[in-house]
Amino acid sequence: MTTAPAQDAWPDTWPDSGIGPLVDHHCHGVVRHGLDEDGFASYLTESDLPPATGTTFFDSQLGFAVRRWCPPLLGLPAHCPPADYLARRRELGVRKAAELLLRATGIGDFLVDTGLPGDLTTPDELASAAGTRAHEVVRLETLAERAADTSDGHRSFLDSLATAVQEAARTGVGFKSVVAYRYGLDLPPDPPPPGEVRAAADRWLAARAPGGRVRDPVLLRHLLWSAVATGLPLQLHTGFGDPDLRLDRCDPLLLTDFVRAVRPTGCPLVLLHTYPYHRGAAYLANVYPHVFTDVGLALAHTGVRARTVLAETLELAPFGKVLFSTDAYGLPELYLVGARLFTHALGGLLTEWVDEGAWSPGDAARAARLIASGNARRLYGLDSPGPGA
């Protein structure tokens, strides 16, 4: 591997590369409170279960990547023991540590999915900690569950939901669906008839305990098509995630008929994460003009292997259709690691391809700007670069 030239040409401090600030088109909030070692480690996995006896979540590509990239920003040597790192973090305080990490990411715009529960920062708080801008991406299933909380029948539920979708289309830059978790991607592709939607709403509302999640496939399809009608980009979780999903029902190719059904509307569909089905997602981005793809979650979780995963995505995906995201959640470390792994991986690939004469330097820089920020700015209508780092 030509690591050394890669680092020369594409410094890990991305802003120095001339590529400009990144747009992280999919992330979440940061936890506001301090965390002990187990609490911190619980964010290093998609699992919601304890680690196996005799093992720790730190012993993973993500754990090693956090220990590689983060300690130096808090004044410690790379790869120092987790306990040392967490002690230093406590010493600095939650807010200060978050600022040090977030301001080093090189991210100029955060697109924040606000649909996760928990003691998390709002987009404005995240922007303030990072010294940059944030925008909201609205989670469809959360809108439905909020509407259900205050509804007593399908009429008030569907009215509230419609109002919430319209409001979100005005305040947000896009929608997000976790239908992958709630049902799987193997849904019938078409908008459900209104009568079916009303009946499904009544069934769900009647059976629903407070806080109950929407899992009814008719309602989930109604949510998707409500978002499509706004024309804003619709982000879809695909590929791996926590054990609440069945991975083989999250292959983005299961969305093919939905992709075809949406095509006449022109509404952009953005396939998130996609691993280990990222080659299939790249195929969809290749052949359908309205499909975009990323490998957000996968870059952080595969650590030193992020370069290969990104390269596999860049086999079929046109360079105008690939987006950057961290999918970071909870730990400010995850924004930093997501950004570093992305810039390091992309820089390494482009340097390698330029070195062997396969790409010209000018094309490489242009493709890097598209993937790092240009595609997201065009897709989400972000007028100009954020203030950056």
**Positions in 296-315 near a second copy (CB under 8 A):** 301-305, 308-309, 311-312, 314-315
H or E element, residue 30: none
Nearest distance in Å: CB 68, a second copy:
6
How are strands ordered across the β-sheet holding 322-323?
A: 22-27, 107-113, 133-139, 174-177, 234-238, 269-273, 291-294, 322-323
- CB of 190: closest distance to a second copy in angstroms? 16
Q: Which of 61, 25, 5, 1 is nearest to 372 (CA)?
A: 25
Q: How far apart are CA 383 and CA 81, in angstroms?
A: 43
Residue type, 315: E
Instruction: Decide: 75 and 88 in contact? Cβ < 8 Å.
Output: yes
Nearer to a second copy, 88 or 263 (CB): 263
Q: How far is the CB of 381 from a second copy (least distance, A)?
A: 12
Tell me which of 316, 323, 336, 365 binds a second copy, using CB under 8 A.
Answer: 316
Using an 8 Å Cβ cutoff, are 385 and 373 in contact?
Answer: yes
Residue 208 vs 353, nearer CB to a second copy: 353
Q: Which is nearer to a second copy, 202 or 363 (CB)?
A: 363
By the rule CB under 8 A, 378 interacts with a second copy: yes
Q: Does 287 help bind a second copy (rule: CB under 8 A)?
A: yes
Q: What Å distances lie between residue 320 and 157, 173, 263, 324, CA to CA?
A: 39, 19, 18, 12
Among 95, 122, 202, 288, binds a second copy (CB under 8 A): 288
Q: Restricting to residues 25-54, which ones interact with a second copy according to CB under 8 A? A: 45-47, 49-54
Q: Which of 16, 34, 55, 190 binds a second copy (CB under 8 A)?
A: 55
Residues in region 345-374 near a second copy by CB under 8 A? 352-353, 355-360, 362-363, 367, 370
At 25 the three-state DSSP class reads strand
Cβ neighbours of residue 117 under 8 Å, at least 6 residues apart?
Answer: none
- H or E stretch covering 375: helix 375-380
Site string for a second copy, 217-246 (x = CB under 8 A): -----------------------x-xx--x
Peptide bond into 276 cis (omega under 30): yes
| Residue where the block lists tokens 């309602």 | 219
| 37 HSE (CA, 13 A, CB side) | 11
Tell me the site size for a second copy, rule CB under 8 A: 77
Task: Please give the Cα distance from 222 to 194 (Å, whole number).
Answer: 9
Judged by beta carbon, residue 11 or residue 276, the one nearer a second copy is: 276
Closer of 54 and 210 to a second copy (Cβ): 54
> Is 330 near a second copy (CB under 8 A)?
no
Report the residue from 93, 289, 381, 387 that binds a second copy according to the rule CB under 8 A.
289
Binding-site member from 162, 279, 369, 385 for a second copy (CB under 8 A): 279
Q: Does 265 bind a second copy (CB under 8 A)?
A: no
Instruction: Report the site for a second copy in 78-137 (rule: CB under 8 A).
Output: 78-79
CB of 83 to a second copy, least distance (A): 15
Q: Residue 375 CB, nearest distance to a second copy (Å)?
A: 8
Q: How far is the CB of 122 from a second copy (least distance, A)?
A: 29
Run of H or E including 107:
strand 107-113
Q: Does 64 bind a second copy (CB under 8 A)?
A: yes
Tell me the closest approach of the beta carbon of residue 218 to a second copy, in angstroms. Answer: 23
d(CA 77, CA 236): 38
In this structure, the number of other CB atoms found within 10 A of the CB of residue 48 comes to 9
Q: Which pair of structure tokens corresponds to residue 17?
A: 């590369």
